[in-house]
A and B are shown apart, each in its own frame.
Chain A
Amino acid sequence: MKIRLSVFAIALVVVANALVLAGVAWNRSGQPVSVLELTERELALSHGSWSNRESTGVSLSLRLADQDYEWLDEDKLAELGFDVAPADRDDGRYWRGQERRLFVALEYDGPAFKALLDQQRSRLERLRSELEAGGASRHEAEAARSGLERLRKAGSRLVAVDAGTDADALRQRYSDPDRHVVTRGVLRMHAIAPHARDEDPRLRGRVGRLLPGEVYLPRRFHEALRQATGERRNEIDAPPRYRVEIRWGRGQEPWITGVVPIDPP
């Protein structure tokens, strides 16, 4: 009896690992769904990579552009299954079910990123005119200028453009494999305080994190990354130092297939 039970434990280890490896093989089989060539702007060295003496593993963090998610409004949140009606709580401003795991469509260096740049440029121009008219501070205008400069040179160009419960439907809508990726992510709903007292708070969503948010870098790419980075994380506004070819398979799981250093300008 006892021998048989411990054999079951070993069998469980074997079966669980076989299922994991079969899932990995299935994800990577056939044509990849997306193949992107990202840079350090989108795939930064994750915290602890090389700097942590307790771990020799290296992974890269997927970074999304800093965006305001205009498209993820109350109607879209309701469509995605969020409970947008305030719960019957003492203060009347409490929402339940604020976090959901869904599919997210990402666009790399496309119209959505250009729109972000245009938005930042317009803001800078508006602040400059307000500064001349005495309505804005020099500090605000300078912050907007450096923000635009950072976005143009070093910010992530990976923009979340849509979300849904059906990965295939999103893939059909965002079908350019060199520009679009459909992946999993955790979406969070939050309330934005109203400008006036008699207004209700507005609901807005955002992508809290991508799943997976970090991509493991196999040992064969360490040397190229080491050459490019000297094992140090980049400055926040410095240009990228390496390119990474990354693929997403049919199970929405990514893997890295190449790392190339970028020659400094």
Chain B
Amino acid sequence: MTALPDAPDSRSAAQARIDRVHAFREELAALERERVLTLGDADRQRIDAHHAAIEAELRERFDVDVDESRKRLSLGMRIASLIGALALSAAVFFFFYRIWGLLTVPLQVVLLIAAPIVATLLAGVVHRRERGAYFTSLVALVAVACFVLNLAVMGQIFNLVPSRNAFLLWAAFALILAYAWGLKLVLTAGLVSLVAWLSATVGAWGGLYWLSFGERPETVLLAGLLITLPGWFRGLPRPDFRNVYRVFGLLVAFLSVLILSHWGRASFLPLPVSAIEAGYQLLGFAGSATLIVLGIRRGWHKLFNLGATFFLLFLYTKVFDWWWDWLPKWLFFLLVGLIAVGFLLVLGRLRRSGGSP
């Protein structure tokens, strides 16, 4: 029998519930010390038993962290998982390139096809054995790397013309694994590939050779905005992925806007360079300010941080353009410091007026 009729549907929701339980316990202890409220033994036992059942259930289902030290350990494990996945993927790449000249073509093909399949099966086995997602994430990312190696090397062996559709296949593979086992790291890898495919496709529609899509940041801007779409809709599978779509897509879009605000020549728009750069600067300021307000109103902490970071980046690059050459350095840095103080005051005011970040 479950202790939670309205059970959380994701690890982040489960962790939020556990954090609320801990906050409640601490506040209750403070109220009792201050002699404001004292719970009767029966009520206390009922609440403690209920919370213990919730903790046990959520730990079992989502491997949530029930105290601060476990949270810190989880963060360490996530970092180790990322570094391990990158290192193991590099090891797979380098190992294959080290031996491929010694193998016949049929053997190369068999190994290249088998590698992502074996890694996917292994990730499935690991997932069944662990409650968290650290090792699954690591092995699934290696599976993605094996599939990248698979198609890239097949292209080399058979002298194929590079195709942007490889990025779509890599993205689809990574997204399937991410949705299968709830892996945000693998989802991010898939989104990187999807941004590359979308940008290359938009660039090809605009007459570019697809590998040159980086020369036109507007293709990447459009791809970033498209990536955010699943992040705004409720009711899609894996609700804890929504934040990844929003933050990753907007990060890509804002980076493109930042580049275009200083490199107007790269734009598709048939306007003078100065007008394009000014337009993208305005868009950058307006967009990041909107993100700050949205982050505060909706309690989306990561979007708030993204908006604040880009607002400052746009501001400081503009300040640099205007004043670096003709102001004495001490005065320039004084102004930069004063802008930071002004920004702090504005955020403090927003905070006092009820914004959660």
Contacts and interface: CB of A to CB of B under 8 A. Distances in A.
A binds B: yes
Interface of A: 2-3, 5-6, 8-10, 12-14, 16-17, 20-21, 23-24, 54-59, 81, 83, 87-90, 94, 96-97, 99-101, 184, 186, 211-212, 214-216, 218-220, 222, 252-255
Given A12-B176, A215-B159, A253-B158, A57 B100 contact: yes
A188 to B, nearest CB: 9
Q: Is the interface of A mostly helix, strand, loop or mixed?
A: mixed
A255 B159 CA distance: 7
B172 to A, nearest CB: 6
B201 interface: no
B101 A57 contact: yes
A59 B153 CA distance: 12
B209 A20 contact: no
Contacts of B210: 101
A186 B210 CA distance: 10
Given A6-B123, A24-B158, A56-B99, A16 B169 contact: yes
Contacts of A254: 159
B102 to A, nearest CB: 6
A213 to B, nearest CB: 10
Contacts of B268: 96
Given A12-B173, A16-B169, A88-B272, A219 B158 contact: no
B180 A6 contact: yes
B154 A17 contact: yes
Contact of A10 (B104, B109, B117): B117
Contacts of A90: 272-274
Given A5-B180, A14-B113, A55-B100, 15 more contacts: A2-B127, A6-B123, A6-B124, A12-B169, A13-B113, A13-B173, A17-B113, A81-B207, A90-B272, A90-B274, A97-B206, A101-B210, A212-B160, A253-B159, A253-B160
Contacts of B150: 13, 17
Contacts of A215: 159
Given A9-B173, A100-B209, A20 B156 contact: no
Interface of B: 94, 97-105, 109, 112-113, 116-117, 120-121, 123-124, 127, 143, 147, 150-151, 154-162, 169, 172-173, 176-177, 179-181, 206-210, 212, 265, 268, 270-274
Nearest to B169: A16
A58 B105 CA distance: 13
Nearest to B107: A219
A14 B177 CA distance: 15
Contacts of B124: 3, 6
B158 A216 contact: yes
Contacts of A10: 117, 120-121
Contacts of A20: 151, 154-155, 158, 160
Given A55-B100, A57-B156, A94-B265, A99 B212 contact: yes
A219 B208 contact: no
A1 B246 CA distance: 25
A2 B181 contact: yes
Nearest to A256: B159
B321 to A, nearest CB: 16
25 contacts: A3-B124, A5-B179, A6-B123, A6-B176, A9-B177, A10-B117, A12-B173, A13-B113, A13-B147, A13-B150, A13-B173, A14-B113, A17-B112, A17-B150, A54-B94, A56-B101, A57-B101, A58-B101, A81-B207, A100-B207, A214-B156, A219-B104, A219-B105, A254-B159, A255-B158
A89 B273 contact: yes
Nearest to B99: A56
Given A54-B94, A90-B273, A212 B180 contact: no
A219 B105 CA distance: 8
Nearest to A52: B97
A35 to B, nearest CB: 15
Interface centre among A20, A58, A59, A211 (most CB of B within 10 A): A20
Contact of B176 (A8, A56, A211): A8
Nearest to B216: A96
A10 B94 CA distance: 23
Nearest to B127: A2
